[in-house]
């Protein structure tokens, strides 16, 4: 296994958390309304879901040789299209009504745990993100590489969580988010569409029979 694959797994986990999405925006809302401690509890619970979905994504990627490349390419295509839809929805989202009160979360850890595990977007986003950064070497990976990839992904998740916890709840962050919420959401849409393009770039040649054996 090459260093580029290990680095790709780390970056995929890092970007999976840092790229603005439903959980990212929920964390900003909790941090803005309840402070850094509540946000830390939320993101700690959400880490469980991150590990579940990334594990399934890596199993799908590494298992491509056993299952067959067609299944993997089809999953990549579907997830790429789904990511593109998420990105377009974020780009075209309308701003919320002014003065809307923030919801107070009484048990942020439990909210993050449930949010992360039950989020229907978790698997396709994880698969598309890891596909974009790891799929180029998927053909050379074995199931024996899973423990290392999962460990590296865990480090990426924790690193991203530390970054988020260090910035949420700050007055400047709260003011910036509230003043530029529409811009933040639109930028997240562009990033999602970028990962969609990467996933489609890897999946389409195999489906069309253009990829060399």
Long-range contacts of 105-108 (CB under 8 A, 24+ apart): 105/30, 105/34, 105/38, 105/42, 108/30, 108/34, 108/38, 108/39, 108/41, 108/42, 108/45
Give me the chain's average pLDDT, please.
Answer: 75
Whether residue 17 is predicted with pLDDT greater than 70 in this model: the reply is yes
Helical H runs in the chain?
3-18, 22-34, 36-62, 64-67, 69-91, 108-118, 122-134, 146-167, 171-179, 181-207
Distance between CA atoms of 202 and 73, rounded to whole angstroms? 8
* 36 Rama sector, left if φ>0, alpha if ψ -120 to 50, beta otherwise: alpha
Return the pLDDT at 129. Answer: 74
* Residues ≥6 apart with Cβ < 8 Å to 41: 108, 109, 112
pTM of the model: 0.65
* pLDDT level of residue 101 (50, 70, 90 thresholds): very low
* pLDDT level of residue 97 (50, 70, 90 thresholds): low
- Least reliable range by pLDDT among 50-64, 114-128, 148-162: 114-128
Return the pLDDT at 50. Answer: 86
Structure tokens at 100: 């809307």
């Amino acid at each position: 296994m090459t260093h580029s694959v290990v680095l790709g797994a780390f970056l995929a986990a890092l970007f999976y958390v840092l790229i603005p999405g439903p959980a990212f925006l929920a964390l900003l809302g909790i941090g803005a309304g309840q402070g850094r401690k509540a946000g830390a509890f939320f993101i700690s619970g959400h880490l469980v879901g991150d590990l579940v979905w990334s594990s399934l994504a890596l199993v799908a990627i590494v298992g491509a040789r056993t299952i067959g490349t067609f299944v993997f390419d089809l999953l990549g295509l579907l997830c790429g299209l789904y990511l593109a839809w998420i990105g377009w929805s974020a780009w075209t989202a309308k701003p919320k009504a002014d003065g809307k009160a923030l919801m107070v979360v009484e048990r942020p850890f439990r909210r993050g745990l449930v949010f992360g595990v039950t989020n229907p977007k978790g698997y396709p986003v994880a698969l598309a993100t890891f596909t974009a950064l790891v799929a180029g070497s998927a053909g050379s990976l074995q199931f024996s590489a899973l423990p290392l990839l999962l460990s590296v992904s865990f480090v990426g998740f924790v690193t991203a969580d530390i970054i988020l916890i260090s910035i949420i709840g700050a007055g400047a962050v709260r003011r910036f988010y509230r003043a530029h919420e529409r811009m933040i959401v639109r930028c997240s849409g562009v990033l999602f569409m970028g990962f969609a393009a990467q996933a489609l770039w890897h999946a389409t040649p195999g489906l069309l029979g253009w990829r060399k054996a």
